[in-house]
Amino acid sequence: MKTFVIFTSAAKYLATNLRKKASNLEFIFLGKNKEGRRFFPDGEVYIRIPKINKLKNKRVIVLHSGIPNPNSGLIELEMILQILKDHKIKPEVFFTYFPYGRQDKVFQLGEANVAESLVKKLINYYKVRRIYVIDPHFGKTEWVKKYPVISISIVPFLAEKIKEDFGENILFLSPDKGGKRRTGIFGLNKKRINSFQTEPLSLKIDVRGKIIGVVDDIVGTGGTLLRFYEFTKNSGAEKIVALVTHGVLNMGVKKIKKRFTKLYLTNTINKKEANVDVVDLIVKAIKIS
């Protein structure tokens, strides 16, 4: 069956490399209105899917990155899915970065598990067949098991990259308990109290004289990794290298790159600092399914 990939605005930067790796895919980019624009004068998004009639009874994958514009990006994604639903096309959605993925748990009354709400809406309302996500923040949580969500880890690939540059003798650690849950890698005993506060750091392992590879899913402000750096450096680590999947905020990425021995950052989000390409991972995931 022919596979069509629809690129949202935030994901079209991946098209060139994806075409090199998977020539059998047919790409669809969002169309413009009669005036050649993607936005109305008031800022509202205009969406048109060219070749929509070719998509019936075909495999359709919508490729999306939740950054740099999480809010307007979701509006664009939902408009695409609504058009597909109107044409009775049941697509798959591939998130290189899942928007609102960090709001995946209710800490106090009045909050919502936004990540699960979005997954539920995509599956139940838009009739999405399955959802792929690269290193989601909600990875391996209990609620995910209820839905056809395929979590894809790039950690083994990142680990091979660091070994090529620093040798085999790397001590891999997670910066907190959430990272340990997602990756299974031992780490600091830092637990999130609520959406904004965490417990003090502690580590039950000797890091003196070692090369540390800290594995994290997200760099926001950079606070978590910077605290990890200071803690392990003061504990005697020789070199500290950061392996990060999603570079969400520019300020955080720049801080980590400046402080750590080296930063390995994937291009799940379009950043100039990204030095690890996820296209091979995307191709492998959509072929296996």
* Average pLDDT, 10 consecutive residues per value, the chain (289 residues): 93 96 93 87 92 94 97 96 98 98 92 97 98 95 95 94 94 88 80 54 82 96 93 94 97 97 98 96 86
Partners of residue 171 on adjacent β-strands: 212
Gap between the Cα atoms of 61 and 4, Å rounded: 6
Q: What is the pTM of this model?
A: 0.92
Residue carrying structure tokens 């340990």: 180
* Structural domain boundaries in the chain: 3-153+278-288, 155-265
Does 3-153+278-288 carry CATH code 3.40.47.10? no
What's the confidence (pLDDT) of residue 288? 65
pLDDT score at 43:
86
pLDDT, position 82 = 98
Look at domain 155-265 and name its CATH class: alpha beta
Three-state SS string over the chain comes to CCEEEEECCCCHHHHHHHHHHCCCCEEEECCCCCCCCCECCCCCECCCCCCHHHHCCCEEEEEEECCCCHHHHHHHHHHHHHHHHHCCCCCEEEEEECCCCCCCCCCCCCCCCHHHHHHHHHHHCCCCCCEEEECCCCCCCHHHHHCCEEEECCHHHHHHHHHHHHCCCEEEEECCHHHHHHHCCCECCCCECCCCCECCCCCCCCCCCCEEEEEEEEECCCHHHHHHHHHHHHCCCCEEEEEEEEECCHHHHHHHHHHCCEEEEECCCCCCCCCECCHHHHHHHHHHC
Query: In whole angstroms, how large is the CA radius of gyration of the chain?
Result: 20
Cα angle 79, 270, 128; round to 5:
30
Q: What was the pLDDT predicted at 198?
A: 55
Same topology for domains 3-153+278-288 and 155-265, yes or no? Answer: yes
Predicted pLDDT at 176: 84
